[in-house]
Amino acid sequence: MIRLEKRTQPSGYWTALSPILAVGLTMIVGGFMFWALGKPPVEAIRTIFWDPLFHPQFADYSRPQLLVKAGPLILIAIGLSIGFRAGIWNIGAEGQYIMGAVSGAAVGLAFYPSQSVLLFPLMVFAGALGGWAWAMIPAVLKTRFGTNEILVSLMLVYVAENILASASAGWLRNPEGMGFPGSRNFKQWSAVYNAELLTGTGMHWGVAAAFIAVIAAYVMMARHIQGFNVRLTGEAPLAARFSGVSPAWIVFLCLGVSGGLAGLAGLFEVTGPAGQVSIDFGSGYGFTAIIVAFLGRLNPFGILAAGLLMALTYIGGELAQLMLGLPGASIQLFQGMLLFFLLATDVFTNYRVRMLRREAA
């Protein structure tokens, strides 16, 4: 008979092992799914995980694209992980991401066609501010009226999507766009275009910011008193309160940081890879980042790896659709499996499996 026994301490060994196990299980079960769809399973798995990195025809292009795709995911997930450590659940990063993009773009477009070198930094600031302000709404409501930040932040995503729609169809619309929705394209405006810092690397300011955020978050959580307070609030709220940590301050700190980083991610995306404010700008990075944060065990370097892995499944998934004709939904299912198996293998982090010998009756 098998029994689960709760561990007194989460197992460090399993914390590190379960993501690897989850990836392995996803490959096996996903392979079966592809096989059931009548596709070659080994080739499909190889196309998803190997070809974007090493295929002679694609790798030169897709390797830098990994960074482009992973950048915003990592930047947002880092912010979220800090809140999640404190037990503050910001589910609305998608909304903060959109608001960062819209406010940063709005500030920039107000100065069109200025070529000032100060404009891009100003837009970056406005982007972070937009995301921060959007996250302050659930923060204020939570600390003032005790509302649930999960619901409020999530609902604000839908508000943000409508603001995005009105911006791209109305007040930020390209006056030379023949009446079609969508703002001016930043790629054609050299002063604010968030281009690659080094050609052919995919490294734009957003990716650089993501790397900086990883290191900053690591230092903050491991060395800084605020990081300690955040962790303490999450692990022992009463102890935190007795030691003088204000719960309201932690709420503002966590939502503020995650909102600001999501806003930054939005701004770097809209001025870079996306290029313009359009109705479909929000492509789910804010939600995917939640998966990335957990896949990375809420650890900054874990998130870095998880973001790159997630980006790999996106780009590899696209290649698999293209090369093997896999349906798009099967790729989404494949990504879903990854989270599912992670949560499943997490059982071993908190529980110990005991094999008991059946005793004679």
Partner 1 sequence: MNRRTLLASAAALSLAAGAALAQDVPKIAFVYVGPVNDGGWSQHHHESAMEMKDHFGDRIEIVEQESVPEGADAERVLTQMALSGADLIFTTSFGYMDPTINVAQKFPDVKFEHATGYKTADNVSAYSARFYEGRAITGYLAGAMTETDKIGYIGSFPIPEVIRGINSSYLHAAQANPDVEIAVVWLNTWFDPAKEADATQALLDQGADVVLAHTDSTAPLSVLEKAGAYGFGQAADMAEFKPTPRISSIIDDWAPYYIERVQAVLDGTWESHNVWQGIGDGMVGIGEFTGPIPEDALTHVTRMKEDIASGAYHPFTGPINKQDGSAWLAEGEVADDGTLAGMDFYVEGVSGEIPN
Residues that bind partner 1 (CB under 8 A): 57-58, 61-62, 65, 68-69, 162, 165-166, 169-171, 173, 178-182, 185, 187, 269, 272-276, 278-281, 283-284, 315, 318-319, 321-323, 325, 327-329
Nearest Cα to Cα of residue 127 among 308, 259, 302: 259
Q: Which is nearer to partner 1, 15 or 185 (CB)?
A: 185
Q: Which is nearer to partner 1, 100 or 302 (CB)?
A: 100
Q: Which is nearer to partner 1, 82 or 93 (CB)?
A: 93
The DSSP code for 167 is I
Which residue reads 């290191």 in tokens? 215
Phi, psi of 354 (to 5 degrees): -115, 130
As measured in angstroms, the least distance from the Cβ of 51 to partner 1 is: 10
Type of residue at 140:
V
As measured in angstroms, the least distance from the Cβ of 331 to partner 1 is: 9
As measured in angstroms, the least distance from the Cβ of 326 to partner 1 is: 10
Q: Which is nearer to partner 1, 151 or 165 (CB)?
A: 165
User: What distance in Å separates the CA atoms of residue 7 and residue 262, rounded to the nearest whole number?
Assistant: 35
As measured in angstroms, the least distance from the Cβ of 202 to partner 1 is: 10
Nearest Cα to Cα of residue 296 among 136, 106, 93, 75: 75
Q: Which is nearer to partner 1, 87 or 325 (CB)?
A: 325
As measured in angstroms, the least distance from the Cβ of 321 to partner 1 is: 5
Q: Cα angle vertex 96, ends 81, 293, to 5°?
A: 20
Q: Which is nearer to partner 1, 94 or 346 (CB)?
A: 94
Q: Which is nearer to partner 1, 61 or 301 (CB)?
A: 61
As measured in angstroms, the least distance from the Cβ of 310 to partner 1 is: 14
Q: Is 3 helix (H, G, I), strand (E, B) or coil?
A: strand
Q: Is 86 helix (H, G, I), strand (E, B) or coil?
A: coil
Distances 101 to 18, 215, 258, 262 between C-alpha atoms, Å = 35, 24, 15, 9
Phi, psi of 41 (to 5 degrees): -65, -45
As measured in angstroms, the least distance from the Cβ of 203 to partner 1 is: 15
Nearest Cα to Cα of residue 52 among 318, 288, 269: 318
Q: Which is nearer to partner 1, 9 or 57 (CB)?
A: 57
As measured in angstroms, the least distance from the Cβ of 323 to partner 1 is: 7
User: What distance in Å separates the CA atoms of residue 34 and residue 301, rounded to the nearest whole number?
Assistant: 31
User: What distance in Å separates the CA atoms of residue 183 and residue 107, rounded to the nearest whole number?
Assistant: 13
Which string of DSSP letters, residue by residue, matches 179-199?
Answer: T-SS---GGG-TTT----SST
